[in-house]
């Protein structure tokens, strides 16, 4: 029995050794064909098949972990996540890249991508931190990084601080950078209305606060509802129907308070819409969400 067991163990060990060697050999074969794997991943990326491209890039990194081009594959995984609008995954992938390849020539680009992902996640302070790291690397992305710092301030509605940012010295790359800085002054012309004034107007005449922010349908509704309730309460008291009068007065007080609060919030919404319209124009005119300057596939 002991002899049979030893033979079984020896045979099992021999079979396991053969399997492991063939697995390693297969991995080496796959690694020698990395061009085909990367090429296919790049093709998927260029076709907008970002998640399939990520799978192929990950396959390449698994099979060719020590290959020189593995760092490029991991960087492109981060770009694919960004284009696929999975910004947290893009940020995490770039953090891993920076940890594993601290001396990579792609490090400034990874900082830039981390900053862009942070802005998409509304972490503006973190975004500025990464763009400042781009500036410390003396990269060709420096001008774009400075623009993104200003852009993060605009997204925070920190208008004054953004307008105080100094235009960088030439040469400009891209060429629209001077126009971007010159256009910052137009943020002063964004239409804004005073929510306190809207509330005061509505307190004096229900509906007038909504008219102030051009919400005319709400103006008519507020005026009619409050007018009818006030008329009903006064009529009830005039006919000595105290209970009905008190009930209508309480209901009117509720609608009257709601009208004031609604006009206040409507003006704030109006201001946000005007700011968003201006920011969208800046985003479109100056390609502020673009990462095309980073190494493409």
Summarised one tens digit per residue, pLDDT across range 50-93 is: 999 999 999 998 888 777 788 999 999 999 999 999 999 999 99
Instruction: Look at 12-26, 108-122, 127-141, 247-261 and tell me which has the smallest mean pLDDT.
Output: 12-26
- Residue 153 burial class via C-beta count within 10 angstroms: exposed 0-12, middle 13-18, buried 19 and up: buried
pTM score of the predicted model: 0.78
Tens-place pLDDT, residues 195-240: 999 999 999 999 999 999 889 999 999 999 999 999 999 999 988 8
**Phi, psi angle pair for 289, to nearest 5°:** -100, 5
pLDDT (0 to 100) of residue 24:
42
82-97 as b/e: b if 16+ CB within 10 A: bebebbebbbebbeeb
């Amino acid at each position: 029995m002991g002899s049979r067991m030893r033979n079984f163990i020896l045979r099992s060990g021999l079979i396991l050794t053969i399997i492991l060697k063939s697995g390693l050999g297969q991995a080496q074969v796959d690694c020698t064909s990395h061009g085909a794997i990367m090429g296919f991943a790049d093709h998927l990326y260029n076709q907008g098949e970002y998640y399939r491209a990520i799978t192929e890039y990950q396959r390449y990194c698994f099979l060719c972990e020590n290959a020189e081009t593995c760092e490029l594959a991991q960087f492109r995984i981060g770009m694919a996540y960004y284009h696929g609008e999975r910004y947290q995954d893009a940020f995490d992938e770039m953090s891993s890249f920076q940890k594993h390849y601290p001396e990579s020539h792609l490090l400034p680009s990874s900082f830039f991508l981390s900053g862009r992902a942070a802005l998409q996640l509304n972490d503006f302070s973190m975004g500025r931190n990464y763009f400042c790291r781009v500036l410390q690397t003396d990269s060709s992305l420096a001008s774009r990084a400075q623009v993104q710092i200003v852009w993060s301030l605009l997204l925070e509605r920190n208008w004054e601080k953004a307008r105080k940012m100094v235009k960088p010295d030439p040469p400009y790359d891209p060429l629209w950078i001077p126009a971007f800085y010159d256009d910052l002054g137009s943020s002063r012309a964004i239409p804004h209305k005073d929510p306190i004034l809207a509330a005061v107007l509505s307190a004096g005449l229900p509906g007038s606060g909504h008219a102030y922010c051009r919400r005319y349908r709400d103006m008519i509704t507020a005026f009619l509802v409050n007018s009818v309730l006030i008329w009903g309460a006064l009529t009830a008291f005039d006919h000595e129907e105290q209970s009905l009068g008190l009930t209508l007065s309480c209901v009117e007080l509720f609608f009257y308070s709601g009208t004031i609060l609604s006009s206040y919030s409507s003006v704030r919404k109006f201001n946000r819409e005007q700011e968003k319209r201006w920011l969208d124009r800046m985003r479109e005119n100056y390609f502020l969400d673009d990462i095309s300057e980073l190494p493409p596939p």
